[in-house]
Amino acid sequence: MITHAPAKINLSLKITQKRADGFHELETLVLPLPSLSDVLTFEPADSFSLHCDTPGVPTDEHNLVSRALRLFEENTQQACPYKITLQKNIPHGAGLGGGSADAAHTLLALNELSSAKIPLGTLASWAAELGSDIPLFLYQSPCWCRGRGEIIQPTSLSWKKPLLLFKPRFDIPTPWAYSKWQDSQEVQGISYLPQSLGDIRLFNDLERPVFEKYRILAELKSFLLEHPATTGALMSGSGSTIFATLRDQAEAPALQAEVLREIDPTLWSHLAIF
């Protein structure tokens, strides 16, 4: 079996408070990116093993794919002897949910391969044990996520706007970004105001702590906001990806070239189409 695990972006992310359990109460609108996916291949084997040709990706029991498989085995009392090959296309530490998507789609694939027929809601409760944002990837739909991210409400949002994504070579640890939120300050001259795109408002409360430390991301967002080819720009999740909504897909190559020339020639980029 071959399954694709799409990335996501956060169209909005609002933090309301820090919870007693150390997590943060939030509300976020998440959009899957079908044009940017990791690929997982499941092959029957004598025992479970995980393989990945991307340097630096762990293939032991620390990987979320391995942890998802072990969790499925534990809860179903079924052995899952598969050789799983993971092709990484989603950059790490980017705010795009790559590892979480891989874990969620491992659970979905094992549910199908084993014919266990575990209800989606039950899989979501298992997934929440591994990470707050893993359940949302099970629904394969735009979603509102609340609580610490584990309360999922799929929505009928119809998104057709092309997006251009940029990520610098550095990663941003999600726990760090949340830990700095409460005491962070806005960078002077940078707009954090919500941007209206029809019925959607683009904003991200984590831009404040992240931009305070990583000024290049603030500069990148401002550059994209001011460019005539865009209708909006925002950081996804805890970063370090900044995305722009485009007026016309045909303008993407010129904008990409201009950003690489003016901001950083080493930026990773991706055009997301729907």
Catalytic positions are 8, 133
Helix (H) or strand (E) holding 217: helix 215-226
Distance CA 170, CA 91 (A): 10
Q: Which residues contact 121 (CB under 8 A, 6 or more apart)?
A: none
Task: Report the DSSP pairing between strands 230-235 and 151-154.
Answer: unpaired
A 10 A CB-CB count for 157 gives 15
Closest CA to 207 of 184, 228, 189, 224: 184
> By three-state DSSP, how is residue 177 classified?
helix
Whether the CA torsion 17, 21, 22, 24 is positive or negative: it is: negative
Q: Which residues contact 127 (CB under 8 A, 6 or more apart)?
A: 68, 103, 104, 107, 134, 135, 137, 138
CA atoms lying within 13 Å on the CB side of residue 122: 9
Locate 187 and state its tokens.
Answer: 């960078």
Q: Which residues contact 177 (CB under 8 A, 6 or more apart)?
A: 206, 209, 210, 238, 239
